Structure formats: structure tokens, C-alpha cells
Structure 1
Amino acid sequence: MSYHFFADKNDKIKILEFIFAETDFRVFDFSSEYEKEIEEYKNIDEIINKFNLSDGGSFSVSFILWSPRHKGKINIRKIELNPKYCNGKTFRYETSGWGLIQLSFSGINKNVLTKSVFTSWSKKGALSRETENHVNGKVIDWDWIEIEKSSRKLKYQIHNKLAVDKIGSTGILEAARELKANGINFM
């Protein structure tokens, strides 16, 4: 499942409030900062204090959502970096796993708000790629009924409860609509 939406900071906070209050998701970094571990976030304040939820380009802040109901496990792997291109830094960490839900918030850059998105694999899609991708583990280790329920619940909240308008099938959340009314372009 993949769902795109336009969201400003206050919209993103509403999504995170829903995640922390109404779901059993655990929230992790998609990838770590250079030479740091993957962090798990226990509340909204930890996220607001660490990240700029307003500015940035495409997918400037990305999280992984996982529930114990999904079974499976989060794989964390070390990515080697070339220090020549990364300010002397030599590694970072990245999460992976077939049943993880990725939530990526985009921001405003050069007067343009880019779409945010959440995505998750379907069982069929994961099975079609399993032989090519050994990093994610085994597809059968995940509870796909629960993953689909979780994805639908998140989509319903964003699309049916928080979106106040849309462009095609892309939801426009309330604070983002105000940005558009004030001259911010959407992409």
C-alpha cells in the first residue's frame, strides 16, 4: 500500500499524535544519522525536539512503524560510507524488513511543499522480491493480515479524518491547505 498526502508541521503532529495514542506502533528512524544508532521514539516531543517538521525537500524525515502484531523483525544493518563524501563520517545504520511501514514526511523547499507518503509491502509484492532481497529476511515470518489492517487504519485516519481536500487521490491536510492559500506551491 502506498498513500501520498500534503502535510505541514501541524498536520504531521496530528498524524504522530494518532500513532502514539491510537495504535500500538513502535516508531524508529528509517536510517540513522552518520555514526549514530537507530533511535526509537516513545513520544511526539522526542520527534519535535529532534526534527524540523516544516522545512526540507522530499522525504526529509522518515520513520519506520512496526507493531508486535506484525511479527517479523526489524533488521538493522550498518552501511559503510566514503568519508570523502560524508564529512569524514564512515558509517550509518539503516532499517529493513518486509512488514515494516515507512512514513516519510516531506517539507517546504523553495516555496514548494512536496508530497509526504507512507508505504508498506503487500505479501504478494514481498514474495515476488524475496529471492532478490535477502536483507529483509523471510516473507512468511510476518503476519500480513495484521500489517494490512495497520496500513488501512493509518490510511483511513489520514485520508478520511485529517484530509480536508485532495488533488486526484492525494489528500491535502488542513495546515497544508492553508499553505496553498498563502502561495505555497504543491509538488
Structure 2
Amino acid sequence: MAWEVLSAIGTIAFAVSGAIIAMEEEYDIFGVYLLGVVTAFGGGAIRNLLIGVPVSALWEQEFMFQLALISITIVFLFPHKTLGHWNRWGHFFDAIGLSAFAVQGALFAVELGLPVYAAVVAAVLTGSGGGMVRDLLAGRKPLVLKAEIYAVWAAIAGLLISIDVIRTDFMLYALFLAITSLRILSYTYKWKLPTRKILTTS
């Protein structure tokens, strides 16, 4: 049950995220739908490629595609005044998508009997892959590559699931809420990972 619920939550959140960024970049209606769908399913496609699952498995998710298209349509028809507040609550959708897909990706890897590191990679790629593709297509610097903490939360979710700390649906939902909250806090309070800049001498 948790698998389907988290898949639906992640699909809706990332479809909305991709559609709004497309409208910010003044894409036409085709571009809005394209970026929304790519954001919703890009992470899963990248994950499948790396862990040996046929990418064609994505086309079996008819209900998820319908959810994505409906979500994009609703956002496209929203009043402009509402969409103007995207900068205030847009990161909330991104955090939801990251968390839901990170948990879903880790569950997918564990179900296939893959080792711990593979589950962590699956969580990171499923959680952040669609957002990376979205940002690259929109000409933006991917969030996952910034100093601000982003994909680390997905990796933590993957680790906890792969070592069997999370055992029940209730615990999965609690993990989803915790990762979402941590992502929002890291954005709000500008938590950053250590960085090191190389200074070049002329």
C-alpha cells in the first residue's frame, strides 16, 4: 500500500513542479506538459537503467501517467495570481517529490534483493533524477549539485530502508514526513554541505 501511495504523491508533486518551472520559463503548452512528465518520470527511468530494470516498465504505469497529466492540466489552468506565489511554496512540492520517490526507489531496490549501496543509489536517483532533468532542460543549475543539502536526505532514506530499520507502512510514512520536513528545513535555514573552492592563479 505504501508503495502505491508514495508513487502517486511523488508523481503529482514532481509533475506540478515541472509544469510550473516550464511556465516560469514561458514554455508553450506542449513544453509545459513535456517538462511536467519528464520531471515526474525521469528519476524512475534513470534508476531503472542503472539497476537493470527495462525502462519500458515505465509505460506500464498508466494510472501514474494519468495522474501526472491531470495535475499538469490543473496547474496550467490555475489563476496567474496563485502561480505568482510559486517561489513561496514551490520548494514544498519539490521536497514532497524528493522524499516520496526516494522512499519508493529504495523499496524498489530492496524488493529486487539488491545490496545496501544499490538501494541508496536507487533512492538518490529516483528522488532527485527527475528534478535534475527538469532543471537541465529549463537551463537551471540542478538543486542536487548545489551546496544546499538536497540529495543527502534521499540517501539517508535509502540507507534506513535497505538496512531494514524501517519495517512497516506506518514507519515508511513517518520516514516520508521526516525527509520532507528535513528538506524544507534545510532550504529554509540554508543548511549547507562543506565546500571547497579552488583558486586559480594567473
Larger RCO, structures 1/2 (Cα 8 Å, 6+ apart): 1
Q: TM-score, normalised by structure 2?
A: 0.28
Higher helix share: 2
Q: TM-score, normalised by structure 1?
A: 0.30
